[in-house]
Structure 1
Amino acid sequence: MRVLLLGFYYPPDISAGAFRAEALVEALACRLPAHGELHVLTTRPSRYVAEGTSPPAVETLFSGKVRVVRLPVSGGGRGMASQARAFASYALQVRRLVKQERYDLVIATSSRLMTAVLGAWVARRKKARLYQDIRDNFVENLPFVLPGGTGRLVAPLFGMLERWALGRADRINLVSRGFEPYFRPRYPRQRFAWHTNGIDPPFVEAAESGFFDQKIHADESQPLRVLYAGNLGAGQGMELILPNLAERLSTRVAFTVIGAGAGREALCRALSERGIENVQVRDPVPREALLEAYYAADVLFLHLNTLPSLESVLPSKLFEYATTGRPIWAGLAGFPADFVKEEIENAAVFAPGDVEAAVAALDRLELHCRPRPAFVTKWRRDKIMANMADQALALVTNEA
């Protein structure tokens, strides 16, 4: 059995997509037959990477069963044009590398759709089975992401690409149940699965060892330590909520923001222009340092922008946050808001962008550590990826 996994991001990139791909590779490697092979074609990370990290271009893992190839790509910056150049570079190299290869199964893990399109093209050329792992609703988001009506103009084109890529899939996984109202009517004959992001093993281990257990905010004379750790992009809209919220709670809360993305510059500019001093913005850090940051926090903050398309996503950050036992303060609407209310204790949800609602939500939180062992057991990533790997490989072994 020969399996190809396509994913644009892979460690040492420290994004959610990279960690998901790594976990899937581990699960697949443990289930491959004795002479099975897994080829991973990804990119050399250009963002969210720990300083001094230089991954090998080619890496062999799991006693030779897995071969990871990291391809150098041009572009990869913040703008859509730069990202398009980076993907074009990646796709051209993938086409060259797979030309003489044979594959029984192609798995594509994709957030911006085009990796799914590439996976469908490779699977068709190789007459291989195709498993699509869709991490975002790209086509529905386009009108809200691209400025000046451009998104509405190009959405039909990308809709055609989506139909071509997903229509050829033997199975489609969606990371959020909130995507179902969009995808199910459009692809009524497809078989869907719902393997979400889940909790990374280091966070599971930390929770089960009691690492996070401590009394929170012991010194009432000090500001509450509130942490946001994650991407700073259009989807989060942190520049739209945090300056106003920090100003409103200037003597009560000290915010720390750990992250990068297209919205970071706008956030820092807004904080500087208004002279806000109770927000510290830091660069992304490796998981080990992130664990320490969570340990030091009193409350964990999360916010999604006020875009209708974001009411169907399920932020991977929620799983990390809940694992720490810390109170969660979240600006969410739609499906992710319902998920928090149903699944996570000691979490307060407010309408995105609403400062007064956010202050009221903070007042509803219990400022102490409350471990969530049932949540950790239910949503640990190794179990989720094990089920997903079994499902994907069953396409080849005729058990699906």
Structure 2
Amino acid sequence: MSEKKSWLILSHGFNMDGRASSQTITDKIPYLLEAGIQPIVFSAITGIQDQRFPHRRFLAWGPAAFRFDFRHWIANQYGRGFIYKLLTRTVSIVLAPFIGLEKLILGYSSQWSWAMPAFIHGLGLVRSGKVDLVFSTGGAWSAHLAGLWLKKWTGIAWIAEIHDPLVIRKNPNDQGFEQPKNRDARFRHYLERQLTKYADHVWWFTDGAVHYAKVRNPNLNTPENAHGFMVLPGAEPPGGVTAEKPHRYSEKLNLCHFGSLANDRSLSTILNALVPLLEKYPVARDHIQVHAYGAALDPLTIQAIKTLGFNDVLLAHGRLEKDPITGKSGREQVLEKMQEADVLILLHGNDEWCAEYIPSKFYEYLWTGRPIWGITHRNPQLDQMLEERGAYLSQEGDAIGIATALERIWLDWKQQKLHQPLGSPMGVDQAVRKILTEIQWQS
């Protein structure tokens, strides 16, 4: 594969500010360019047009995906004010019956239909000899579906990067063989089998994900099928800033969480752990604040705030997007807030899929120079990385252990001796080197 230089990159969410699925591929681009690769990118219209290389953005052909993409495109063009609300509500009303019909007939996740324009336009490029390799990455599985179609129709070299497991297991004894009733989940089962059969190379982001993929697909890593391996994605410094900001202790112990929340990944875990701490150290009530950035609060957190009376303890800041006044991107603002934190909270979740998943925020946290408090679930690989970096570590579901860790953080903060992170951040350069080595690329 050493002669290949032009890559068609299929990424539904390319150049979407603050999106993990976007950052995973956009952060790789400088290193791919440095390696002599000439990218041509296909994405949805949700991301910003890239000027460094050909970047074509396509509307999805299905109504649900069209609505999703349209909302983000309007937000990029006009912000989320009156025009955004008017246009998006109008489009939602018009498309509602068609979305219902699409869901009834197919039942797939909304972005599936983006695969169609990506395939049609990609087919023209491949047949004209303008690309030598197709690289699908996601995020949305529509990119992999388009890559599969291009492979089957043309035989072109195809490599695939799986962000989150396509097959979601239910418990430790579930290997993922059972065909689910949900049609989208059934299709993802099918797509994983096709990836391991037809892709030239495919990789996942955790040891657990590779392990279970091999269990379900024993053909993986056989001569006739895909070569599968693990890559730690890493991250570039949020906002492009590499210098660590000196930390200053204030009158508040600021515990900060960044990213999405849900009932299986809830800040109620932290709020409930505050109860025994405040019983033991009542003065802590006036000195601890929990900050949530990047997402709406989950129902369990909202309920815990009401039940425990913690309205002044947990502050929800929402999603940080580009500031039209300062010109700072969402990532730049996120970095500033991360560096202001006393401790960064890493919530792993409590689902079985945690065994195959590491939150992408972990890699960004490493760049901030701030202590991390990881609350993890069934993932020895993540636990080891946290321990190696001197993080505070708790196990999901262990209420006593979580409360003990919070007390340790409180006492360390009072003495101004919070854990100093060990080791170096994990950049994206190491991920690109691993990929190029595995696929035997030489510039």
* TM-score normalised by the chain length of structure 2: 0.71
Structure 2 residue 310 is matched with structure 1 residue 276: yes
Q: Distance in 2 between matches of 1:203 and 1:13?
A: 10
Moved more, 311-320 or 270-279: 270-279
Select 2:384's aligned residue among 339, 342, 346: 339
SS in structure 2 of the partner of residue 374 of structure 1: coil
Q: Distance in 2 between matches of 1:196 and 1:233?
A: 25
2:10 corresponds in structure 1 to 6
Select 1:325's aligned residue among 337, 358, 369: 369
Contact 2:277–2:406 (CA<8 Å) still a contact in 1?
Answer: no
Structure 1: give runs of 5+ residues left out of the alignment: 46-53, 145-149
Q: What is the 5 A alignment of 1:68-217?
A: 68-72=55-59, 73-76=65-68, 84=108, 86-102=110-126, 103-111=131-139, 113-141=141-169, 152-154=180-182, 155-185=185-215, 186=217, 187-189=220-222, 190-202=226-238, 205-206=241-242, 209=243, 211-215=244-248, 217=249
CA shift at 1:6, angstroms? 0.9
Equivalent AA in structure 2 for residue 318 of structure 1: F
Contact 2:161–2:203 (CA<8 Å) still a contact in 1?
Answer: yes
CA shift at 1:142, angstroms? 7.5
Equivalent AA in structure 1 for residue 394 of structure 2: F
Rg larger in 1 or in 2? Answer: 2
Q: Distance in 2 between matches of 1:253 and 1:83?
A: 45
1:375 corresponds in structure 2 to 424
- CA-to-aligned-CA distance 1:148-186 (integer Å, 9 cap, x gap): xx9932345432221012211111111112213202232
Equivalent AA in structure 1 for residue 292 of structure 2: V
Q: Distance in 1 between matches of 2:27 and 2:402?
A: 35
1:313 corresponds in structure 2 to 357
Contact 1:331–1:353 (CA<8 Å) still a contact in 2?
Answer: no
SS in structure 2 of the partner of residue 338 of structure 1: helix
Structure 2 residue 266 is matched with structure 1 residue 224: no
Contact 1:240–1:353 (CA<8 Å) still a contact in 2?
Answer: no
SS in structure 1 of the partner of residue 190 of structure 2: helix
Query: CA 1:387–1:238 in structure 2 vs 1: closer, same or farther (change >3 Å)?
Result: same
Structure 2 residue 295 is matched with structure 1 residue 304: no
CA shift at 1:104, angstroms? 1.7
Query: CA 1:357–1:203 in structure 2 vs 1: closer, same or farther (change >3 Å)?
Result: farther
SS in structure 2 of the partner of residue 334 of structure 1: coil
CA shift at 1:75, angstroms? 3.5
* TM-score normalised by the chain length of structure 1: 0.78
Contact 1:238–1:303 (CA<8 Å) still a contact in 2?
Answer: yes
Equivalent AA in structure 2 for residue 91 of structure 1: A
1:50 corresponds in structure 2 to none
CA shift at 1:123, angstroms? 2.3
Contact 2:14–2:26 (CA<8 Å) still a contact in 1?
Answer: yes
Contact 1:303–1:331 (CA<8 Å) still a contact in 2?
Answer: yes
Equivalent AA in structure 2 for residue 225 of structure 1: N
CA-based RMSD? 3.4
- CA-to-aligned-CA distance 1:222-277 (integer Å, 9 cap, x gap): 3411000112246x52155244345555615200000226x646644653565421
